[in-house]
Structure 1
């Protein structure tokens, strides 16, 4: 007969598949840890047992006391019993540090600017910088400097001014620049700025000297060259236009331009002498004009008469400058018969007050000596030049001789129509120039031979002498 099972044996089966044998652990603390681990880790098997509906009452009672003592607990399905519990031996083992050599993407081969097919991207075009700047400048958008001349202020772009002007290039970040009105007028600055903004600027005749003067002050090389190219045109600025430009240049102190314009006066000289502007020339200006080799006259007598006219216009003030002006006359180019008449008592007060001066008489006598010596040697020019060299005399430079068919006294000494030139006849000739028209000077003819300083009669339909046309 079988022995009844112990109560302790009835409860020895666990849902985790282990028994409560005292062999599992030596101490209470370790038993508790072991049980807790089994409970947590074997929860799956516990739920399995529930699902299968295990009946604890129907288990066969085949265990006896000896068998239960010899029975070993089954191993855990999840954790083996020989795994050390965490924290038990940690303090006894050395800690190992695990490291990784770090690398950046660049070191790994990735490059920011290497993108395949980047050139195939169709990008939109940018607005043209020149057009944008041009629009700002033309429409006065955001000007950054003010130019003040007198009471007038201009709003400008400094970048435009500095592109052309060395004067403005030396400026820094000024927002207001004052320019002297005596050097550059508001009108001149407007012309300068308009020239800077124009694509193909053309300099006009009106205001050209004002523009030229402003360009010199502001040191605008391109504009100075452009103005000078126009002023140096000896076709447009010659004769009358040259003298008119000369009068204008005096107001700006452009001496180099003044000298240039005076050398371009030839046939227009006698028309100029007939004008009031000639009488208003200064001593320096009249000397410069009369010393020119290019002025055109019928003879040197007309140069002397031009001096008499200028001095007598304001004798009281100009008497002190008489000798300076008379020295411009080349007495050696006058015919000897006229020089002799100057040494005699002259009824003309205007000439006598000049010719009676001792220094002027000496000049006249030197002229007589030169001309008579020249007549003595005649065609033997080499001997005459040797004579001049021996006595250290200088041959006078010839003028630009012109012939006027309408001049009543324009004859040679052997001409039967020859007349002595008087100051009255000279003034009558100038009066004729007043009435004959402004382009009369263009009809003057240049003499072919410089040796014949006194041209004479030619066959002409314009004038009758002694009731017939004569050739002398």
Structure 2
């Protein structure tokens, strides 16, 4: 090696040692170093964004108001957009939104997200379901009179509490559902066998009773519903003989199959409300021959004899200051316009006894009601009638 080149070698050696020192103390490729560098850069950018918000008055920018999601949902429901459940009733199909049904109906809420549901037509008619779905969509809670019973029955089956309560509110309004309107609603309940509603409506009949007896619908009543009607203290009659004769009309219309019900039906006639003279005629079967077979029945004979005996006993007790606590409840007595004017101050018993008639006269009255079916509206009662 040449002596003249020695200083250069010394310089190169020092450069190599310095390079090794730099490499040993600086790890340019370490991941942690890179992440920390990126984090620092992100923090710096975030600070710059916040600063820009303050500078650009972000909270003063005008923008369109976001619509309420309930409004959007309501719009989709009313436009039947993308329904997700299909209801089958008989041959009818309804495409609906499950969410709407689940919000009101406990039945649909329990079904969950079932896409296809079949409902029994005897419980939920297509007309009732259509009206119910419209009711669910509507902001109003009112109900139509048409198909009311169908809606009521369907609401009970589907368990829709709000709609059921609305139906009962209507039913409990005696001023709008009484007399002939009550009987009309009764007829509508028959196909659905809603006994509670049927019997409630029958108990709303007062002055319309005799017009009903004159109709074909009366003789078609099942014995259970006839008993509910005859048991009612609310029915309007001129005397208790009207109740006896009304029962006879029903029994004689199909005597062969209804004769077995004589005892059951006769027990609903309040014989103690009749006059002694009429009871005596009934016991001796001196009434119309058409009802003789009913008067000769053992139950009828026993009831009339007990009533007549009870009346004489009551009269005797009253003379000695005793009281009969088992006196039957009165009916709603109607005023006979031909005789009531001179009897305003008479006791109710006297008034009803004075208006008693024969079976023949009773049938003539029914014929008059048949020819003028709205005449019951002119009937007046001795006591004020309160519909309930």
Q: TM-score w.r.t. structure 2 length?
A: 0.84
For residues 106-185 of structure 1, the aligned pairs below 5 Å read: 110=46, 114=50, 115-116=53-54, 117-185=57-125
Asked if 2 retains the 8 angstrom alpha-carbon contact of 1:297 and 1:400, the reply is: yes
Aligned with residue 189 of structure 1, among 107, 112, 129: 129
Deviation at 1:109, TM superposition (A): 10
Which residue in 1 is equivalent to 2:207?
A: 267
Whether 2:189 is the aligned partner of 1:253: answer no
Secondary structure in 2 matching 1:285 = helix
Tell me which residue corresponds to 2:264.
324
SS of equivalent to 1:403: coil
- Provide the residue aligned with 1:50 in structure 2: none
Task: Measure, in 2, the Cα distance between the counterparts of 1:192 and 1:354.
Answer: 49
How far residue 223 of structure 1 moved from its aligned partner, in angstroms, is: 1.2
Corresponding residue number in structure 2 for 1:454? none
- Indicate whether 1:221 and 2:161 are aligned: yes
Two-structure CA RMSD over aligned residues (Å): 3.4
Report the counterpart of residue 333 of structure 2 in structure 1: 401
Structure exhibiting the larger radius of gyration computed from Cα positions: 1
Structure 1 residues 150 and 414 mapped into 2: Cα distance closer, same or farther (>3 Å)? closer
Asked if 1 retains the 8 angstrom alpha-carbon contact of 2:107 and 2:158, the reply is: yes
Tell whether the 8 Å contact from 2:335 to 2:379 is kept in structure 1 after alignment: yes
| CA spacing shift, 1:259–1:414, aligned 2, 3 Å | closer
| Post-superposition offset of 1:148 | 0.8
Q: Counterpart of 1:242?
A: 182
Pick from 277, 284, 295 the counterpart of residue 355 of structure 1.
295
More displaced 10-residue stretch of structure 1: 219-228 or 280-289: 219-228
Whether the 8 Å contact between 2:238 and 2:355 is mirrored in structure 1 is no
Higher relative contact order (CA 8 A, sep 6+): 2
Q: 1:27 maps to which residue?
A: 3
Report how far residue 211 of structure 1 moved: 0.8
Looking at structure 2, the residues matched to 146 and 92 of structure 1 have their Cα atoms a distance apart, in angstroms, of 80
Q: In structure 1, how many angstroms separate the alpha carbons of the residues matched to 2:134 and 2:356?
A: 59
Q: 1:407 to 1:191 in 2, by over 3 A?
A: farther
Query: 1:118, CA displacement in angstroms?
Result: 3.3
Distance 1:112 1:343, change over 3 A: farther
Q: Distance in 1 between matches of 2:47 and 2:309?
A: 104
Cα distance 1:347–1:119, how it changes in 2: closer, same or farther (>3 A)?
closer
State the Cα distance separating 1:322 from its structure 2 match. 0.8
| Rounded Cα–Cα distance in structure 2 between residues aligned with 1:92 and 1:222 | 87
Q: Which has the higher helix share?
A: 2
Deviation of the 1:425 alpha carbon:
1.0
Q: Aligned residue for 1:18?
A: none
Q: 2: distance between equivalents of 1:87 and 1:138?
A: 85
Structure 1 residue 368 and structure 2 residue 308: aligned? yes
* Distance in structure 1 (CA, Å) of the matches to 2:165 and 2:107: 16
User: How many equivalent residue pairs?
Assistant: 367
Mapped to 1, the partners of 2:222 and 2:167 lie a distance apart of: 27
Q: Name the counterpart of 1:75.
A: none
Secondary structure of 1:146 counterpart: strand
Per the alignment, do residues 95 and 349 of structure 1 end up closer, same or farther by CA in structure 2, a change over 3 Å counting? same
* TM-score between both structures, scaled by the size of structure 1: 0.70
- Who is 1:11 aligned against? none
Separation in structure 1 between the aligned mates of residue 332 and residue 138 of structure 2, nearest angstrom: 44
Q: Is the 8 A contact 2:281 2:287 kept in 1?
A: no
Separation (CA, whole Å) in 1 of partners of 2:129 and 2:20: 98
Cα gap change, 1:266 to 1:110, in 2 (>3 Å): same
After the TM superposition, which residues 415-430 of structure 1 pair with which residues of structure 2 at under 5 Å, given as runs? 421-430=357-366
Among 25, 29, 49, the alignment partner of 1:97 is 25
Q: 1:28 to 1:216 in 2, by over 3 A?
A: same
Equivalent residue in structure 2 for 1:383, among 318, 322, 326: 322
Q: 1:414 deviation in Å?
A: 9.1
Q: CA deviation at 1:155?
A: 0.9
Give the drift of 1:127.
Answer: 3.1
Q: 2:172 aligns with which of 222, 229, 232?
A: 232
Give the deviation of 1:420 after TM superposition.
Answer: 7.0
State the SS of the aligned residue for 2:294. helix
Contact 1:336 1:371 in 2 (8 A): yes
- In the alignment, is the contact (CA less than 8 A) between 2:241 and 2:356 conserved in 1? no
Structure 1 residue ranges without an equivalent (≥5): 1-24, 35-81, 389-393, 450-472
Aligned match of 1:470: none
Instruction: Look up the SS of the partner of 1:233 in the other structure.
Output: coil
Deviation at 1:220, TM superposition (A): 1.1
Instruction: For 2:298 and 2:153, locate their aligned partners in 1 and report how far apart those are by CA, in whole Å.
Output: 45
Distance 1:407 1:314, change over 3 A: farther
Closer, same or farther in 2 for the Cα pair 1:420/1:445, shift >3 Å?
Answer: closer
The CA distance in 2 between the partners of 1:220 and 1:154, in whole Å, is 18
| Partner secondary structure for residue 190 of structure 1 | helix
